[in-house]
Each structure stands twice: as structure tokens, then as C-alpha cells.
Structure 1
Amino acid sequence: MIGTRVRKALAALTAVVAGVGLTGCGTDAAGPGPVWHGGTPAPAGAATATPGAAAEVRLTFAGDVHFTGRTRRLLDDPQTAFGSIASALRDADLTLVNLETAVTDRGTPEPKTYHFRAPKTAFAALRAAGVDAVSIANNHILDYGRQGLSDTLDAAAEADYPVFGAGRDADAAYAPWLTTVRGLRIAVLGMSQVHDLAGSWRATDTRSGVAMAFDPARATAAVRAARKQADLVIVFMHWGIEGNSCPSAEMKTFAGTLSGSGADIVVGTHAHTLLADGWLGPTYVHYGLGNFLWYGTSHSTDSGVLNLVVRGRTVVDSQFVPATVSGSGQPVPATGAGRQRILDKLATAQRCTGLAARRDG
């Protein structure tokens, strides 16, 4: 993505000019930046690497985001909607989250318990925070039916904002978002493994919807096709058992399928609690990033930002920066005992992942 860091710097400057007096944050609006162990930033004005070259690229991921309830009013000022955590999002070369909402004011609510929707300013808030693209392969993107999905796609196009994981037909839903960062060609796919309404929400050749993991032939074909187009393949999954910090057998099986099909990085959301990470052969897997910008109570307020440094297809460093979802719904970097508690929780959760602590191969 040529010019990404420059764009993020401009977004950060805009936020400072707008003023960052944020609920639930300290006086240090910028917050602590991530400490990288192994990543070396390119000097200012450095030449772009050739495609596939071994330039280090910084990737950042975070969990579920929506603008409903207490987080809806954060869009009154989209430039500061994410609060102090935005500095950690802007620091990366490429930042991705899961947008857990339809962007619409139309449509009919689907037969389900929770319904999330947001105005078009959601995309302005994401861009201002340094989020480069979002997965919409989740169990809320069709909360207001196919009208809501169509409006979301139209709003994203109007904002010139990349979304992936759902589309107007199966080809669009399973298509990767393609970008180039420092000469590294990156393909990002989004898929859902949530069972609720999966049959009626899945994209088909003649119907809009979500890219579902329940069509393994199409899912693996999508990863293999992306593999031919990119140096690095990322799959952003929506999966897991709500409140459970251990991956299910279904998740583990599909992670293996993705790895075998050529995925280099698999990152997940949905469980409303943090899961852990590790290696599945040459593939880096993080099973669940929890809630991030969240409207109300849930299984856990533990959150955070996942930072990866990649060189070519290889993750050469990983770091999780703990955060807590505050009373405003904004994630705030955790410090002291709270930070250590989250890190200890992740260390315990790692034991049930079945993942190796180190890369194989």
C-alpha cells in the first residue's frame, strides 16, 4: 500500500488538531506506543523494495468493532472515535480489524437477538484511527438483511474504503483484498465459521452474502488463488465459542485446512474474549482477539492489539499489547497489574490451542 504510513501520519495530525479529550483516557492522549522486538523501521525517504523482497513490514490486528449504544456517540467526532489506542493502530504499515455491523439506515431486522448498524461516518472513524481495511465476514453484517449489506458495500465504495469477506455474490465475497506494502504483495481474505443463519447468509453465485468456511472447497480455492497473486496471504476469521478462551475442534481443523492451502497468517475474532496464538507448521495463527470498540457488557473487557513483523512470507516477530474496553466503549492500553493479568491469561490460554510455540520450517 504505497503511501500508507504518510496517510496515517496525516490522520494522526488531523486527530491532534481536532483535539483528543477522550472518555476513559489519561492526560497522555497518545498513549504508550508498541515496543517492537525484531522490526526495524525503514529510514525516512527509503526506496520501496522490489516485489517479494525481504523488507520488514509491520502488521497490526485488532478485534470486533461497531458503533451501537455507547459507541454510537463516538461518531459525533469520527476523528477521535477510537481514543488513545489509535496511536498503536497508526504505527503499523497495515492495520486490520473486524467491522461487526451493517452500515445502513434501512433494511428489515433478521430473526436474531442482537442487531447492529452504524452510519456512514463509521468509515471516517476507521480511517482516522489508522485502520486500512476491515473484514465484514461476520454474524452481524446482514443484521438488516441484504438491503443492509448492499448499503454497507455502497457506503464503503463511496468512502473509497476497502472491505472484504462479503460481497454481492460468492466471487466477490471470497475475493481477496490485494495491496502492496514496501514491495510486499499482500492478499487478505475474510471468512466466517459462525453457524447462526449461515445457510441463509452465505454468498452464492446468484446471491449476496458472506464468505463461509462451511464451503471448504470454495474456501480453500480462494486461499490457493490468493497464494498465486501475493507474497503474503492473510485470512481474517470470524469463529469460536462465545466466552470460551480455547479454540474448538472445528476451529483447529479449519486452521489446518487454511495452512495446508497456503495461508501464512490466520487471525480470528468473535468469541468476546481473548484466545491465544502459536504456530501451525509455517502458519502463524491467533485464534481470537476479543472485543475492541464495544457497545456494552460482554464476556470480557480484556482486549488488545496484535503486532506482527513479517519478512516475505515469514512472521519474524509477534507482540500482543494488552488493553481494556473502557466505560466509553473505547479500548485503553492496559498498564501495571492489569496488563500483566491479561498476559498471564493469554499464557494459560495458549496451552489449549494445540499450536507450537515456534515456527516449524
Structure 2
Amino acid sequence: MKRLTRLALAIAAAASIAACGSNDHEFEQGSIVTFGGDTHFGENYVESAEVSDGERLSDADRYTGGFDHLRPLLSRADYSIVNLETPLSEQTRDRLRGKDYLHFTDSAKAIPALKAAGIDAVGLANNHSMDQGASGLENTLGALDGSGLDHFGMGRDLDEASAPLIKTIERPGGGSVTLAVFAQFEFRDNYLANWPFYATADQPGAAPLDVARFTRQVDALRQQHEDLFVVAFPHWGSNYAWASDEQDRLGRQLVDAGADMVIGHHSHGTQEIARYKDRWILFGIGNLLFNSRGRFADYDRAQPYGLVAELSFAKEGGPAVRLHPFLSDNLKTGFKPRPASEEEAAALMRTIRYRDKSTSFDAKLVRDRDGRSAIQLTPLSWTNWW
């Protein structure tokens, strides 16, 4: 019976998504904050035996060309935030040993490319931020300080690493909202056992996903800011997979702890979407620009799309949410993520909507101001189904 009910809802959702092609001007009149997923220029993957000569990118393609279709979306926002999944450091002597896929990058090339793409802030709490050890952390923070890019989620101790990004977003017509974004990397037993990865009171590292600490931080912020919107920005789950039960549990705990929205990343593909206590949980928004070959062909259930999430803050209240799907399978796009077609966007949302962990939301297909297909999220309305 449950399966039949979900099938009926999925069919209704498909009709709802496919039937709508309007342009919502009210959304675009708000102040826009944009979130992008996993971002890495992929220098380390050049050394892989799997990479063919045709996949060895020039500097122009590696650092700028891949943003060609993403740049208009990121740069038009009032503020854009991404998960930067690499140290801003060359390889160091104290890089981690025994860990696969050690990331590094040339900060002199990466930082201008990020800024030229319209990115304003980078979250650094993820499973690659400490790949080059404590020296890589110092190189990263040194490169970012004074660069014009805001950064959060990594630090010389726990207080610095776990401090949220705080940004004042002006509302149209007057007033403002204080945006607080917390970058968090879930605890993993092998990381705890093998490497000094997580920040502690006397150790540099990435900000851990600690719900109790997050609760205290949010409570303190709400004492200081009347109009506060809190985003939890966790790095969690598994590569090329749907959301896990642990992500589901942690997502709800983060909302219970005070998150107004949860925007997750790490899977490299799109994951489920849930509405819980009138709050959005985007379990995984996939890649933004990630210059590896990818393994979508090996994991046929993984959705080869990334989502750029736009939050539109109007005169009051929480934001409207619009998702822009991009095909991020580099072997199909030539390492240049491209916007999903209307048919691809509708098919992706139908797939997500039918998953068990996708709950209590509706969606409609719209055209953004530049004519691209986008998915606007709305709370589930039972009147829409019958």
C-alpha cells in the first residue's frame, strides 16, 4: 500500500514539475544567496594512470573554462558560497600518509579563478581540507587571509575552525537578515584513528560535525541577532550514493538544534530532499566544479548532477529556494558542467521525489531570468495532488 501511495505521489509530482514553465519575478526581486557543492581543480588527478591525454587540462580549462556555464549564476548572486574541497597549498612534507586521493592546488591560480567565477566565500570542513597536514592548513589560511574570499570551517584550534561565517544580507526595501553558515565535517572512525584531521582545543584541523556544540553556538547567536538565518553546511555520507540513515538522523538533529536549513555535500551526485519541521534539508547538492574523471559509470544509481541552490530573501521571513541542476559528469561534458535541460531537470526531480528519505515537499519547474530550467521548492500541499 505504501509503495502504491508513493507511486501515485511521484506521478503527480512529475505532472506538477513538467507542466510549469513560468518565470517567478518575485523570487528574483529578493536578495540572492547562492550555495554550490564540491569544488576542486583536480591537479592531483593528472597523475592518475586512468587519465588519457585528452583529459589533461590546460590551465585555462582547469581554472576558468570549467566555470563557463556556472559563472553567470554565481556572479549574479548577492553572495555566493561553495565547498572548497582542497587545501590551497602545494604538496607538503607533512601531507597525510596512507590516505587515498590527496588534494592540493596552486593558490596563485585557484584564488583568482574562484573570484572570477563570482564566488565570495569557501567552506573548508571536508575530507580533503587537511590532506597536506598542518603546513597545508597554514598555507591555506595564509593564502585566503586578505584575498577577498571569506572562509570558514578550518582553523588553528577548535574555536577558530568551528566559527561560522557571518554575513549581513540586505533585504529589499530595507532591513537585513544575518546569515550564519556552519561548515562541518562528520566524524569518521578511520580519520579519528589515523590522522590529526579534526580541530581540537590544541590541534589545528577541520570543524567537526558536533551537534551539541552547534546547539550552543546557535543559541548564543540568537541572543545576539534578532533576524537570524542559520545554515548547516555539512560534509557527510558516501561518494556516489544516496543519503544514508546517519545523514537522515544528523539532518534532523541539526534542525532540532536550530538550523533553519541544511545544505549537504560530499556524494558528488545529487541526493534526497526533505522538509522537516518547516525546514529544508538538502542532503547532497553534488559537485560544482570538480575536475576528476568521476565514477558515475561505476555507480549507475548515482545522479550525475550538481545543484546550485539559490536562496531568495524577500522583505521578511525565510527564503524561497530554487535549485539549478547541472550535468557534472566530466566525461560527458568535457570538464565543463552544463545546465540541465528541462527534460533532465524534471527527470532528476522525479527520481529524487520517489526516494524514501525525500519527504514533505513539492517542486515546480520554472525558467530563471536567463532562460535556464530551475526547480523551485515548495512545502507539500495535499491539495496539489488530487
TM-score, with length taken from structure 1: 0.77
| Alignment of 1:152 onto 2:140 | yes
Indicate the residue corresponding to 1:86 in structure 2: 71
Indicate the residue corresponding to 1:11 in structure 2: none
From 338, 341, 358, the equivalent of 1:332 is 338
From 330, 348, 352, the equivalent of 1:346 is 352
Task: Report Cα offsets for 1:171-226 as digits up to 9, x if no partner.
Answer: 0111111111112221111001151414631111111111111x332232233333
Distance 1:202 1:276, change over 3 A: same
Report the CA distance between 1:322 and its aligned residue: 1.6
Report the CA distance between 1:229 and its aligned residue: 4.2
Distance 1:140 1:285, change over 3 A: same
| Alignment of 1:265 onto 2:258 | no
In structure 1, what is the Cα distance between the partners aligned to 2:74 and 2:88? 22
- Does the residue aligned with 2:138 lie in a helix, a strand or coil? helix
| Alignment of 1:142 onto 2:127 | no
Amino acid in structure 2 at the alignment position of 1:129 = A
For the 8 Å contact 2:66–2:335, the answer to whether it is kept is no
In structure 1, what is the Cα distance between the partners aligned to 2:192 and 2:60? 30
Distance 1:123 1:197, change over 3 A: same
In structure 2, what is the Cα distance between the partners aligned to 1:131 and 1:258? 26
Report the CA distance between 1:311 and its aligned residue: 4.1
Task: Report Cα offsets for 1:266-323 as digits up to 9, x if no partner.
Answer: 1000012211223211322111011221222223532232222234784442222221
| More displaced stretch, 57-66 vs 228-237 | 228-237
Distance 1:127 1:64, change over 3 A: same
Task: Report Cα offsets for 1:41-100 as digits up to 9, x if no partner.
Answer: 2xxxxxxxxxxxxxx332221210001146974557855551122111122222211101
Distance 1:112 1:35, change over 3 A: farther
In structure 2, what is the Cα distance between the partners aligned to 1:65 and 1:194? 21
Indicate the residue corresponding to 1:124 in structure 2: 112
Distance 1:73 1:138, change over 3 A: farther
Report the CA distance between 1:355 and its aligned residue: 5.1
Indicate the residue corresponding to 2:177 in structure 1: 184
In structure 1, what is the Cα distance between the partners aligned to 2:206 and 2:23? 36
In structure 2, what is the Cα distance between the partners aligned to 1:228 and 1:286? 27
Within 5 Å, which residues of 2 pair with 1:240-259?
240-245=237-242, 247-259=243-255
Report the CA distance between 1:106 and its aligned residue: 3.7
For the 8 Å contact 2:273–2:357, the answer to whether it is kept is no
- Does the residue aligned with 2:208 lie in a helix, a strand or coil? coil
Indicate the residue corresponding to 2:215 in structure 1: 220
| Alignment of 1:58 onto 2:32 | yes
Indicate the residue corresponding to 1:24 in structure 2: none
In structure 2, what is the Cα distance between the partners aligned to 1:36 and 1:74? 38
For the 8 Å contact 1:71–1:329, the answer to whether it is kept is no
Report the CA distance between 1:158 and its aligned residue: 3.8
Indicate the residue corresponding to 1:23 in structure 2: none
Indicate the residue corresponding to 1:8 in structure 2: none
Within 5 Å, which residues of 2 pair with 1:69-80?
69=45, 73-74=58-59, 78=63, 80=65
In structure 2, what is the Cα distance between the partners aligned to 1:257 and 1:275? 18
Indicate the residue corresponding to 1:306 in structure 2: 309
In structure 2, what is the Cα distance between the partners aligned to 1:346 and 1:97? 22
For the 8 Å contact 2:41–2:63, the answer to whether it is kept is no
Amino acid in structure 2 at the alignment position of 1:217 = A
Amino acid in structure 1 at the alignment position of 2:87 = A
Indicate the residue corresponding to 1:239 in structure 2: 236
Distance 1:293 1:35, change over 3 A: farther
Distance 1:81 1:227, change over 3 A: farther
In structure 1, what is the Cα distance between the partners aligned to 2:166 and 2:323? 25
For the pair shown, the structure with the greater C-alpha radius of gyration is 2
Distance 1:147 1:233, change over 3 A: same
Indicate the residue corresponding to 1:202 in structure 2: 198
Distance 1:242 1:345, change over 3 A: same
Distance 1:133 1:216, change over 3 A: same
For the 8 Å contact 2:41–2:62, the answer to whether it is kept is no
Amino acid in structure 2 at the alignment position of 1:345 = T
- Does the residue aligned with 1:271 lie in a helix, a strand or coil? coil
Indicate the residue corresponding to 1:109 in structure 2: 95
TM-score, with length taken from structure 2: 0.73
Distance 1:333 1:359, change over 3 A: closer
In structure 1, what is the Cα distance between the partners aligned to 2:142 and 2:231? 24
Indicate the residue corresponding to 1:99 in structure 2: 84
Report the CA distance between 1:256 and its aligned residue: 2.1
Task: Report Cα offsets for 1:127-164 as digits up to 9, x if no partner.
Answer: 11111111111000011111111111111114131111
- Does the residue aligned with 1:244 lie in a helix, a strand or coil? coil
For the 8 Å contact 1:283–1:359, the answer to whether it is kept is no
